[in-house]
Amino acid sequence: AQSVTQPDARVTVSEGASLQLRCKYSYSGTPYLFWYVQYPRQGLQLLLKYYSGDPVVQGVNGFEAEFSKSNSSFHLRKASVHWSDSAVYFCVLSVASSGSWQLIFGSGTQLTVMP
Amino acid sequence: DMKVTQMPRYLIKRMGENVLLECGQDMSHETMYWYRQDPGLGLQLIYISYDVDSNSEGDIPKGYRVSRKKREHFSLILDSAKTNQTSVYFCASSLEGNTLYFGAGTRLSVL
């Protein structure tokens, strides 16, 4: 069965530090992968997506993610975080299922950026 | 500007009352979704709608029903709300089928 694992429920980093949020997926076919961000009391917003091609995809606000088929991973990175990056980040796997798309959400990683 | 709008943003109801949550989108997206979000459980899919009057149950449809009479509107109905339906409800829409646009959510408390 398909699944998405975000092993770190909470991550705390200092402002200006680099960031990596981990995501592992389980799926035998071609994965479509997404990272969404949820700011307090808001809906989820798309950060970036990977369909195929270059394994490093760029997103908004300086975020990027790297797809690794061999490691079944799609880790999110940022070179220098800002306090406004504090939010919950969700890794999402999309798979084709019976003519439609099935979306599998990770449990989310709460990021806190300390000033 | 692409937008998914949810109304109301906050709602308090008593157990047994009926609840109507409304969602609108201005992108002419065919597919719309209702999720609920609870601490520790992430997002759970309640219903999915592929177009007007074409709705399918998600993972947790029990206690909910939906209505989609216009492509831009998707309603979630709780007939006789229960306390365990206290949650944050998110509506989303998609055009390509797997890139979702979310509303800001409705925080429902059932007392």
Q: Could you list the pLDDT tens digit for every one of the 111 residues in chain B?
A: 679 999 999 999 999 999 999 999 998 899 999 999 998 778 999 999 999 999 999 999 999 999 999 999 999 999 999 999 999 999 999 977 678 999 999 999 999
Q: What fold does the segment set B4-102 form as a domain?
A: Immunoglobulin-like (2.60.40)
Q: What is the pLDDT of residue A109?
A: 96
pLDDT tens digits, one per residue of A42-78: 899 999 999 889 999 999 999 999 999 999 999 999 9
Residue of B31, B42, B92 lying closest to A108 (CB–CB): B42
- Structure tokens that stand for B105 in this block: 């959510």
**pLDDT over 90 for what percent of chain A?**
81
Q: Which residues of B touch A108 (CB under 8 A)?
A: 42
Residues composing chain A: 115
Q: Is the dihedral of CA A80, A57, B31, B64 positive or negative?
A: negative
Domains in chain A, CATH or no CATH each: 3-114 (2.60.40.10)
Residue pair B58/B5 in contact (Cβ under 8 Å)? The answer is no
pLDDT band at A41, cuts 50/70/90?
Answer: confident
> What pLDDT band is residue A97 in, cutting at 50, 70 and 90?
confident
Mean pLDDT (chain A) is 93
Beta bridge partners of B87: B108
CB contact under 8 A, A101 and B98: yes
> What is the per-residue pLDDT for B69?
97
Q: Is residue A90 helix, strand or coil?
A: strand
The CA distance from A61 to B58, in Å, is 33
**B31, B97, B105 member nearest A43 (Cβ):** B105
